[in-house]
Amino acid sequence: MATQALAMDPYNLIITGVGGQGNVLASKLIGNMLVDQGYYITIGETFGASQRGGSVMSHLRVSAESIQGPQIPRGKAHMVVALEPTEALRVLKEYGNPGVKVITNTRPVYSLAVVCGDSPYPAMDVLKGWMDKLTAGAWFIDATDEAMKLGTAILGNVLLVGALSAVGDLPLERDRFQEVMARTMPPAKVEMNIEAFEKGQSMIV
Amino acid sequence: MQTICDGRSGEIQLMQGNQAFARGALEAGLSVVAGYPGTPSSEIVENLAKASTVRDIYVEWSVNEKVAMEVAAAASFAGLRSAAVMKQVGVNVASDFMLHLSESGVRGGMILISCEDPGALSSGNEGESRPFAKMFEVPLLEPCDMQEAKDMTQWAFELSEEIGNLVMIRSVTRLSHASGNVKLGSLPEAAPKARFKHWGTLMDADEGPVTPVPVHYRHTLMQEKLKKAVSRFEESPFNFYEGPENPEVIIVTSSACTLYSREAIRLLDVKDRVGLVKLGTTWPLPPRFMEKYLSKADIIFTVEEVLPFIEDSVKILAADISDRIGIKRFHGRGDGTLPTINELNPDLVAEGLAKILGMEYRPVAPAYAELVDEAVGAASPPRDLAFCAGCPHRASFWSIHNALEMDGREGFVCGDIGCYTLAVLPTGFSTLRTIHAMGSGTGIGSGFGKLGRFGMDQPVLSVCGDSTFFHAVMPALVNAIHNRAEMTLVVLDNSGTAMTGFQPHPGLTADAVGNEAPALDIAGIVRAMGAHVAESDPFQVEETRDKVLELIQKGGVNVLILKQSCALSPEKKGKKLFQVDLDRSVCLGENCGCNNLCTRVFKCPGLQWDAEAKSARIDEVICSGCGVCASICPSGAITKKEVA
Amino acid sequence: MPIFGPNELINDVIKRDLCIGCGMCVDICPYFENYKGKTSMLFPCTLTQGRCNAHCPKTEVDLDALARFCWKQPYDGAPLGHFERILAARAGEKISGKFQGGGSVSALISYALTQKIVDGAVLTDAEGIEPVPRLITAPEQVPQCAGSKFIAAPTLSAMNRAVRDGARRLAVVGTPCQMTAVAQMRMNPLNREDFEDPVALTIGLFCNWALNHRKLVGYLSERMDTSSITGMDIPPPPAEVLVVKTTQGEERFPLDEIRKLIPQTCFLCPDMTTEWCDVSVGMYEGRSGWNTLLVRTPAGADLVDQAVADGWLQVEAFPEGNEKALSGAALAKKERSFRNAERQGLLNPETGDGRPSLRVPQTVLQRILDAPSR
């Protein structure tokens, strides 16, 4: 059914962030790119409190063989794409393992506990230190900054999809991305999104 | 605009579970759908509302779930196919009608889709509604993935029409809000005509009156309908077995738990030892189908959430046929193999299965687990639930809380369901002291308001939202007024059903599809009921506080309407009422006279404490420009200027 | 003087039922409010030291420290406190109007405003039975605030609000507890570098006790229509009644019932004539239409002398016999209060939990407690 077998089947991808960052959009985008290629996709979303400051998490399961459940089992994530760095760490607690890979945005979104002075927000190098200890590979991308250069902060999620594409575990080529964009976005926005995708790809070395 | 009507038959799309339900209903020729917003069900009606711009269907956000079911039933009586959609607690509200509907029967196919929330991800309870199917003797279906969500919905309409009764479909959050591959079918051309045939005799089920009387006659008919459904269940492709010929353990499962169970078998690598009986029709259980597979093994492990509904049915069935299948050992929720609270996931099922098989399941190495625990403790600050920046509820509860403290008689607020339910937490200054169901705040307030004769002198308040007011508060308010309770109801009117995604309700000028609709006036209704009415803008915190103080000294039933639209409403998004600035040189911060009032107590996400500068600051991006912080700042550091 | 914070204020004053509702802690910050006589804390404050506690007249009041600040001498327990002169006084011809007593306070305040000795006066107005703290800046508004208010009122909240709005050179008229609080504030107990004394003139009132706001309103509401009340009076003995004036006439209530509405904290107050101020004014028992007036400070003396010279105040000598009687009454209050405080463990505790309400030098205390009672 699918065009190519996966290195791991099912491949378990988690996309996480804070409400309003385009988490669901990113997961749908990746899902559509892969359904088009004949894979079985299940995306499980946890977004109940997203509008009100809460964490958001999408579990994306990719399989060439069969439909998977909407919740990834403990310790079984292969890849975590995070729109917010502390959320990446939070996800690793339940789903991380020594072989997991992480691609994360570096821009913090402060929770209420942080902004009112109750809890400190960790320094970036502290976060990086933990991620290096807890993963088999971690990439830190200034997705929000680059997105703002391209026009708007919300493009950060597309940038990260581009980065995911470049890592190469999943078949997420640029042409495939363009097809999905053309189908789901108004024509005026497609160009900007492709730029963001390509920029994200270039940020993986 | 993209709708679920897009896509040809045979095409595979990535669809959300709720979209799949909606698509299935359209493919079955649905004409009318009615519901009340409730997570995780709302997207079904929302998708059908979008579809109604390109297809001839009527979509309604009804005032409450009972009326929604009644509206859908009317369409069915007139020969159309209809659906009622709600979350689990909505079925509780609709249940009185559901009982009578099952006894009276339906005409055009009618389904009830109940989307439940095991794990209470978006609810104040872990109730479930499957027992209603048993109580009211209607067939119950549980799809296990997105494809089944579509296909079983379509089949449900056929079944409903064949037997002449309501068919109930049960979904859960992990299905409704998940997405997956769905192969589309075709959308029918025909637009059926509505006609209610009612001129037959009382006993004429097809063209007579639609009633549950004569009760014994109708009840007999109802049970025959259920028997017919069971015979269809025996042949249904939605029930099947997968696994070895002679398993050691049989898992009986349904719904999303099917996927968890499959995953558990794979995680433990025991597919040669464990068989899986997947049920799509879960009430009543098809006895011949069950007997065939229950006889395969001595250990039966039922995996479901939240109640042991199927488990109990299986045990009863097994007891009935024990002479043929032997004595079984049962595991599941009844014996603690699975937890009795919270939702399930593949790990909990794997743990349970491992226990049964005498294996160990350890998904994460202890060393890694310890390390990641440390990391999260050190570097992942918590994200609490809070009102949005610019939320009128924060301002309302600020005023109510302060009025109650100043009054000093230990007054309290009975809460209700909506975004403002969060006021039981510090984000709402922990003001709510009871929370139950829709409308319960005022019902309970009406009760507390009569306890003065027993010596209670604490001021009694209740709150509700504008949508909740129409849903369930009105009768409770009538009760308070007529029975002369001493209480004050505060209506938090933010012009929408906000928590569930900002759907419209009868107090607004638009309907589910966006057409103009007459808006009912809450103040006028309450005045006509005979309560004393006052109004205030919650962003004027001092004025609102003084009004609350005034009303809780006064006797009788008072209603205070606090009107200010939600920060996320279309008219507010991106537009600020005020430009709000903070002068750091004036900010008192930690010192006597302030003690971080705005960041430590008021806690709007737009206000941030800069520990280095020892001053508060305003985050321009998050600040929504409501100006309330300027009113409460004790030093005058925060100022507001009206935006043109 | 040890300084504590708002949580100690809650435990040591409010929870021990010592709060008199003077308003000193209200409107310095957003945390304390007073509504219909009840002081409450709206939200927890995490500070361990605060002006609310430091200024409060019901906790950690060190009489010796006050005396050294105000008179540059130790506290000696004199019944009437430190004063230069005692006079009989009443409003002069320059201020017309019918006064409940002698009108001396209204006269002095109006004069001070007119002469711009002060820019504003913190007084206690009333709306019916409800006392209303007010900042008055126009002399013609002073008479409306005249008249005894027997209900304990949060007058000092108006002072705090005025100071926050930038007001300086204020006059404050208050009861002994209120003026004790003001004096403590002027000592700048937290040693704030940015402290500016906003008060230029203090006038204290004689007081034996006040009445609990909510209890009085509750008592009267059960017996009459409180919306028609225009004022209250307690005529001199042997009347033994509280007179409530209304638009329809007068109502009388037995004083022994009214006394049940006195807050317990009043029986711990040692100050009858308001010792910590520039000028103290009270009733002149036996001579209606006149006040007893104590001049305590040079500023007070200047004010009184100028007011007399300009015709705003009239004074006469105060008979020695009356002074003796007044002294005796004041001493009795001191003695009674010190005894109550000692008995309740609120006076000079050496050890144990709970901070003292009052600190009195031991020798002074002994002298007063051992003196033969009248």
pLDDT of C322: 94
Q: Which of B198, B219, B235 is the last residue of a domain?
A: B235
The structure tokens 């990834």 sit at A72
Structural domain includes residue B373: no
The reply to whether ipTM tops 0.90 is yes
pLDDT of B468: 95
Q: Any idea what the CATH number is for the domain that residue B331 is in?
A: 3.40.50.920
**CB contacts, 8 Å: C194 with chain B:** none
C31 in contact with chain B, both atoms CB, cutoff 8 A: yes
Specify whether B169 is located in the same domain as B272. no
How many Å lie between the alpha carbon of B500 and the closest alpha carbon of chain A? Answer: 9
pLDDT of B24: 98
Task: Count Cβ–Cβ pairs < 8 Å, chain B vs chain C.
Answer: 48
How is residue C13 annotated by DSSP? I
Q: Any idea what the CATH number is for the domain that residue B72 is in?
A: 3.40.50.970
How many domains does chain B divide into? 4
For range A53-58, the mean pLDDT: 86
C3 in contact with chain B, both atoms CB, cutoff 8 A: no
Structural domain includes residue B365: no
Structural domain includes residue B250: yes
A116 in contact with chain B, both atoms CB, cutoff 8 A: yes
Q: Could you report the average pLDDT of every consecutive run of 10 residues in chain B (644 residues)? A: 90 97 98 96 97 95 97 97 97 97 96 96 92 97 98 98 97 96 94 92 92 93 96 98 97 98 97 98 98 96 97 97 96 96 96 97 92 93 88 98 98 96 94 97 98 96 96 97 98 91 91 93 97 98 98 96 92 87 96 95 94 93 94 96 89
Given a contact cutoff of 8 angstroms between Cβ atoms, the answer to whether C200 and C118 are in contact is yes
pLDDT of A76: 97
Specify whether B499 is located in the same domain as B610. no
- Tokens representing B339? 């937890």
Picking from B296, B199, B307, B185, the residue whose alpha carbon sits closest to that of residue B255 is B307
Q: What is the dihedral of CA B625, B629, B630, B632, to 10 degrees?
A: 160
Specify whether B98 is located in the same domain as B137. yes
**CB contacts, 8 Å: B387 with chain A:** 52
Specify whether B546 is located in the same domain as B507. yes
Select from B12, B372, B425, B610 the residue whose CB has the most chain A CBs within 10 Å, as the one to mutate to test that interface.
B372
Q: Give all domains of chain C, ordered by start, each with its CATH number.
A: 6-212+263-370 (no CATH), 213-261 (3.10.450)
Q: Residue B597: which of C30, C34, C49 has the nearest Cβ?
A: C30
Contact B600 A121 (CB under 8 A): no
Q: Residue A75: which of B263, B364, B422 has the nearest Cβ?
A: B364
Structural domain includes residue B434: yes
Q: What is the dihedral of CA B69, B74, B78, B84, to 10 degrees?
A: -20
Cα A17 to Cα A109, A152, B452, C149: the distances in Å are 9, 17, 51, 62
Contact B178 A92 (CB under 8 A): no
In whole angstroms, give the CA distance from residue A140 to residue A107. 10
Structural domain includes residue B220: yes
Arch. (CATH architecture) of A11-202:
3-Layer(aba) Sandwich (3.40)
Cα B42 to Cα B102, B227, B472, B501, C310: the distances in Å are 24, 32, 19, 8, 81
Specify whether B611 is located in the same domain as B511. no
B585 in contact with chain C, both atoms CB, cutoff 8 A: no
**CB contacts, 8 Å: A67 with chain B:** 145, 147, 180-181, 259
pLDDT of B526: 98
Specify whether B407 is located in the same domain as B488. yes
Select from B254, B262, B380 the residue whose CB has the most chain A CBs within 10 Å, as the one to mutate to test that interface.
B380
Contact B592 C51 (CB under 8 A): yes
In whole angstroms, give the CA distance from residue C293 to residue C309. 16
Element (H, E) at C157: helix C155-164
Structural domain includes residue B5: no
In whole angstroms, give the CA distance from residue C370 to residue C339. 11
pLDDT of B639: 97
pLDDT of B384: 81
A58 in contact with chain B, both atoms CB, cutoff 8 A: no
pLDDT of B31: 97
Contact A86 B382 (CB under 8 A): no
Structural domain includes residue B178: yes
Q: Residue B587, Cβ neighbours under 10 Å: how many? A: 23
In whole angstroms, give the CA distance from residue B108 to residue B74. 10
Specify whether B58 is located in the same domain as B125. yes
Inter-helix orientation angle B17-27/B146-163, to 10°: 40
C–B touching, 3+ CB–CB pairs within 8 Å:
yes
Contact B346 A69 (CB under 8 A): yes
Residue of C nearest to B631 (CA): C30
Residue of B nearest to C4 (CA): B592
Specify whether B132 is located in the same domain as B70. yes
pLDDT band, residue A50 (cuts 50/70/90): low
Q: Residue C29: which of B402, B408, B594 has the nearest Cβ?
A: B594
Q: Which amino acid, B426? A: P
Structural domain includes residue B377: no
How many Å lie between the alpha carbon of B632 and the closest alpha carbon of chain C? Answer: 8
Q: Could you state, in order of their start, the residue ranges of all structural domains in chain A? A: 11-202
Q: Which residues contact B448 (CB under 8 A, 6 or more apart)?
A: B414, B456, B460, B485, B487
pLDDT band, residue A2 (cuts 50/70/90): low
The structure tokens 């009543």 sit at B284
pLDDT of A46: 85
- pLDDT tens, per residue, chain C with 374 residues: 689 999 999 999 999 999 999 999 999 999 999 999 999 999 999 999 999 999 999 999 999 999 999 999 999 999 999 999 999 999 999 887 778 789 999 999 999 999 999 999 999 999 888 899 999 999 999 988 988 889 999 999 999 999 999 999 999 999 999 999 999 999 999 999 989 999 999 999 999 999 999 999 999 999 999 989 988 888 888 889 999 999 999 999 999 999 999 999 999 999 999 999 999 999 998 888 999 999 999 999 999 999 999 999 999 999 999 999 999 999 999 999 999 999 999 999 865 566 889 999 999 999 999 876 54
Chains that touch C (3 or more CB pairs under 8 A): B
Given a contact cutoff of 8 angstroms between Cβ atoms, the answer to whether A30 and A173 are in contact is no
pLDDT of A55: 87
**CB contacts, 8 Å: B259 with chain A:** 42, 67-70
Interface of A with B in 137-196 (CB under 8 A): 184
C208 in contact with chain B, both atoms CB, cutoff 8 A: no
| Residue B542 structural domain | 392-563
Specify whether B304 is located in the same domain as B442. no
DSSP assignment of C302-320 equals HHHHHHHHTTSEEEEE--H
Distance, CA of B108 to chain centre = 27
Q: How far apart are the first and last CA of chain C?
A: 34
Select from C25, C29, C41, C164 the residue whose CB has the most chain B CBs within 10 Å, as the one to mutate to test that interface.
C29
Q: Residue A204, Cβ neighbours under 10 Å: how many? A: 15
Whether residue C189 is preceded by a cis peptide bond, meaning omega within 30 degrees of 0, is no
Q: Residue B405: which of C42, C49, C190 has the nearest Cβ?
A: C42
Given a contact cutoff of 8 angstroms between Cβ atoms, the answer to whether A49 and A20 are in contact is no
Specify whether B582 is located in the same domain as B552. no
Specify whether B21 is located in the same domain as B61. yes
- Tokens representing B355? 């226990």
A–B touching, 3+ CB–CB pairs within 8 Å:
yes
pLDDT digits (tens, 9 = 90+) for B152-169: 999 999 999 999 999 999
